[in-house]
Amino acid sequence: MADAKVKRNDPCPCGSGKKYKRCCMARDKAEQAERVSWERAAQDMRVALIGFAKEASFVKDLALGLGLFWQDRYTVETIPMMSVDESLRFFDWFAHDYRLQAQDEPSHNGKRLIEVYRSEVADALSDKEASILDGWIASPPGSAFTLLETDAAQGTAVMRDLLLEDRTLIVHDGSAAKHGEVGQILLARPLPEQSHVRLAGATAVLPPSEADGLRAFVEEKWQAHLAEHEGATKVEFLRDCAYLVTHYALAWADREGRPAVAADDPDARGPGGQAMQRLVKWRQERVQIH
């Protein structure tokens, strides 16, 4: 796609010798419109999943999920005390990884919320929305990644999975590309969106010094899981136990003497959410939390 600074009457960057408006401008505008329509469809699905998670039929599972993810630091009653970043991280995990277990509809138990949502609204989805949800459902679970390099001009970052071997990704995320520092550990969920991979929710960041500790912590849990679930795969384990990386981050904050969650910090509810900025370094595209 041509540089956004190219004007209508400038020579076309393709080298044809024609003015931009007589050459590639129409194609570039069509490509831009298509890209924006995919981004809007993905944003709509993020908002819809959060709204779906808050329906009355999921209250019991929501309570169980809050206790599991936050180690009982939040309950259904104290959800309003979560910062926006904490809400995004929790509902991202609850929609994509948590397996429902307290449903009145037996067929829903054992399924992930995103799978239930996809089946219940199938007839109302656009082709783009259906494609996005199918890609998200098939994608690996969230994980911990080492940031290898960034390109602020292109809005991309390269990161390697700490917990799954042979998984290195190029993600399109302007915030990570601009604010990320090589070596940092990103607690994130990469999700496919058309031809790109983007980071969902809010990315939490740990210092490079925690890489070995986090890897050892998860490995110990994995070996214990494998002893009880013969034949389980690492991907299945990380899906069912994705909350473990949050448990490690909470323990790290406790060790550092920092408020682990906004509810523990009287200043976190003020402008900027000072305390959580120490753990959540940047934000991806916003979704509305109601």
Residue 121, C-beta contacts closer than 8 angstroms, at least 6 positions apart = 48
Q: Radius of gyration (Cα) for the chain, nearest Å?
A: 21
Sign of CA dihedral 170, 173, 174, 179: negative
- The mean pLDDT of the chain is 88
Question: Confidence class of residue 266 from pLDDT cuts 50, 70 and 90?
Answer: low
- Phi, then psi, of 106 in degrees rounded to 5: -55, -35
Tell me the pLDDT tens digit for each residue of 153-186. Answer: 999 999 999 999 889 999 999 889 998 999 999 9
> pLDDT at position 267, please?
63
Helical spans, DSSP H, in the chain:
25-53, 59-70, 84-96, 113-120, 127-138, 174-179, 211-228, 234-240, 244-255
Give the C-alpha separation, 50 to 89, whole Å: 11
Whole-angstrom Cα distance, residue 92 to residue 114?
A: 10
pLDDT tens track for 6-40: 899 999 999 999 999 999 999 999 998 988 899 89
CB 203 within 8 A of CB 186: yes
Secondary structure (DSSP) of 39-51: HHHHHHHHHHHHH
| Residue corresponding to tokens 């384990």 | 237
Question: Using DSSP, how many helices (H) and how many strands (E) does the chain show?
Answer: 9, 6
Mean pLDDT of 31-59: 92
Q: What pLDDT is attached to residue 109?
A: 94
pTM: 0.86
Higher pLDDT, 276 or 261: 261
Q: What share of the chain in percent tops pLDDT 90?
A: 71
